[in-house]
């Protein structure tokens, strides 16, 4: 059963994030360059046409979500035109995508220091109304110090970022729920007679998504998120099951909550496994974007607790190049369906997918969808229903 809060309101219950499919699917990062760090010419670039085309393809396949990430600056200092820094604003992007799609949830990402919570609450409510209750908010502590420094708010120490994020989110959620004006005095925000109208359609508010990976991040996700995004530390199914169970158990035991656990994965689908491996090697090793990868690894390594040691970070270089450290879905349509079933059996509720070339990848992935239905991971879907 999907993790749905017992008191789900009827609008929220229709959000595809709470739908019946055992393994939910989404797109990751099509408001930016996706997740690959590669120099191959077919690599995705976030034009509005490409954003619309990929979101509509995912919607027509029955995907549950598209997640727009928040990126304010690229990874390489001074290289303002580098693809890692060319990102469409997640909120306005989600509003546009909501209008162009029928079913999928639109998820916008925000850090706490980049957007005042009163502004964020209203933007979220507005997109929730535009989308007919299909919005969700991904709240992140962030890791890219130069981008947060641009806001004149030097990036806080790692765990303090989550304290900031918590206060920011609590204000937003009060603005979504409460009719009466309220005052708020905290270490990060001072609000006088705060209120926000109209309210979001979903009550008590749109679902919250978070990707906290550290001890503090896990605690935050278990306490506040409906969907926890994990960066899987291993490709071993037993390890993955343990990593997922740690979140679900903590959420239940310590906060009395049921959470979904999702991850993200890069997909290379070809007619044979050898062909898929060859293309993976081509784009993520022979044509890796070296300077970008070096800068990204340095930033993520110093500002997050994603990887246990510098050695683990270095060992994961190809995964970073292939899909920002996500999991690998490599091979034929059948291989990919089988791996997704293993992940589902390990307790995973959803996967955000990325490709080097999303249009090509989504076209091929159409072959995987009926296989997921046949394996009982997803219900039969018709785009015209």
Residue 72 to residue 84: CA distance in whole angstroms: 9
Q: Is 76 helix (H, G, I), strand (E, B) or coil?
A: coil
Residue 181 to residue 363: CA distance in whole angstroms: 50
Measured from the Cβ of residue 173, the count of other Cβ atoms closer than 10 Å reads 18
DSSP 24-41: EEEEE-TTTT-S--B--T
CB of 67 to ligand FMN, least distance (A): 7
Tokens representing 255 are: 């906060």
Which of 155/369 has CB closer to ligand FMN?
A: 155
Considering only CA atoms, which of 121, 118, 270 is closest in space to residue 189?
Answer: 118
Alpha helices in the chain (DSSP H): 10-14, 48-61, 90-100, 117-130, 145-149, 158-177, 215-224, 237-255, 273-281, 290-303, 310-315, 317-323, 333-345, 358-365, 368-374
CB of 156 to ligand FMN, least distance (A): 12
Which of 70/369 has CB closer to ligand FMN?
A: 70
Which of 94/201 has CB closer to ligand FMN?
A: 94
Considering only CA atoms, which of 165, 245, 248, 241 is closest in space to residue 208?
Answer: 165
Which of 133/142 has CB closer to ligand FMN?
A: 142
CB of 304 to ligand FMN, least distance (A): 4
Which residue's Cβ has the minimum distance to ligand FMN? 217
Which of 175/225 has CB closer to ligand FMN?
A: 225
CB of 135 to ligand FMN, least distance (A): 16
Give 133's DSSP letter. S
Interacting residues with ligand FMN (CB under 6 A): 69-70, 109, 140-144, 211-214, 217, 229, 231, 264, 304-306, 352
Which of 233/281 has CB closer to ligand FMN?
A: 233
Tokens representing 167 are: 């206060």
CB of 296 to ligand FMN, least distance (A): 11
CB of 98 to ligand FMN, least distance (A): 18
CB of 385 to ligand FMN, least distance (A): 29
CB of 209 to ligand FMN, least distance (A): 8
Question: For strand 350-354 and strand 24-28, is the pairing parallel, antiparallel, or unpaired?
Answer: parallel
CB of 306 to ligand FMN, least distance (A): 5
Which of 142/361 has CB closer to ligand FMN?
A: 142
Residue 383 to residue 233: CA distance in whole angstroms: 35
Which of 211/336 has CB closer to ligand FMN?
A: 211
Residue 305 to residue 309: CA distance in whole angstroms: 9
Considering only CA atoms, which of 150, 305, 283 is closest in space to residue 230?
Answer: 305
Q: How far is CA 209 from the centre of its chain?
A: 8
Which of 90/194 has CB closer to ligand FMN?
A: 90
Contact of 269 with 368, CB cutoff 8 Å: yes
């Amino acid at each position: 059963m999907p993790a749905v809060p017992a008191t789900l309101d009827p609008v929220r219950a229709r959000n595809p994030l709470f739908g019946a499919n055992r393994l939910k699917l989404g797109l990751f990062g099509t408001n930016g360059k996706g997740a690959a760090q590669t120099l191959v010419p077919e690599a995705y670039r976030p034009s509005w046409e490409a954003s619309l085309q990929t979101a509509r393809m995912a919607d027509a396949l029955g995907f549950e979500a598209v997640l727009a990430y928040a990126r304010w600056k690229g990874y390489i200092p001074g290289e303002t035109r580098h693809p890692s820094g060319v990102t469409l604003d997640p909120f306005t992007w989600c509003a546009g995508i909501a209008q162009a799609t029928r079913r999928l949830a639109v998820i916008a990402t925000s850090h706490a220091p980049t957007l005042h919570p009163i502004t964020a609450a209203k933007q979220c409510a507005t997109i929730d109304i535009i989308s007919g209750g299909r919005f969700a908010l991904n709240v992140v502590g962030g890791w890219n110090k130069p981008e947060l420094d641009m806001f004149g708010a030097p990036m806080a120490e790692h765990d303090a970022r989550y304290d900031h994020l918590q206060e920011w989110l609590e204000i937003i959620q009060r603005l979504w729920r409460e009719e009466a004006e309220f005052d708020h005095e905290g270490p990060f925000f001072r609000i006088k007679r705060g209120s926000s109208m109209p309210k979001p359609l979903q009550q008590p508010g749109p679902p919250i998504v978070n990707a906290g990976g550290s001890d503090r991040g896990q605690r935050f996700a278990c306490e506040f998120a409906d969907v926890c995004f994990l960066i899987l530390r291993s490709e071993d199914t037993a390890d993955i099951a343990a990593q997922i169970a740690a979140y679900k158990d903590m959420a239940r035991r310590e906060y009395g909550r049921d959470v979904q656990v999702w991850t993200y994965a890069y997909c290379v689908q070809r007619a044979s496994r050898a062909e898929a491996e060859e293309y993976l090697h081509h784009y993520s090793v022979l044509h890796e974007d070296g300077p970008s990868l070096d800068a990204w690894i340095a930033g993520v390594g110093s500002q997050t607790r994603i990887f246990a040691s510098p050695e683990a970070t270095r060992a994961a270089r190809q995964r970073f190049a292939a899909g920002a450290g996500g999991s690998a879905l490599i091979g034929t349509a059948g291989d990919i369906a089988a791996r997704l079933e293993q992940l589902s059996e390990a307790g995973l509720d959803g996967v955000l997918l990325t490709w080097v070339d999303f249009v090509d990848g989504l076209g091929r992935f159409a072959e995987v969808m009926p296989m997921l239905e046949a394996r009982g991971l997803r219900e039969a879907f018709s785009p015209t229903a």
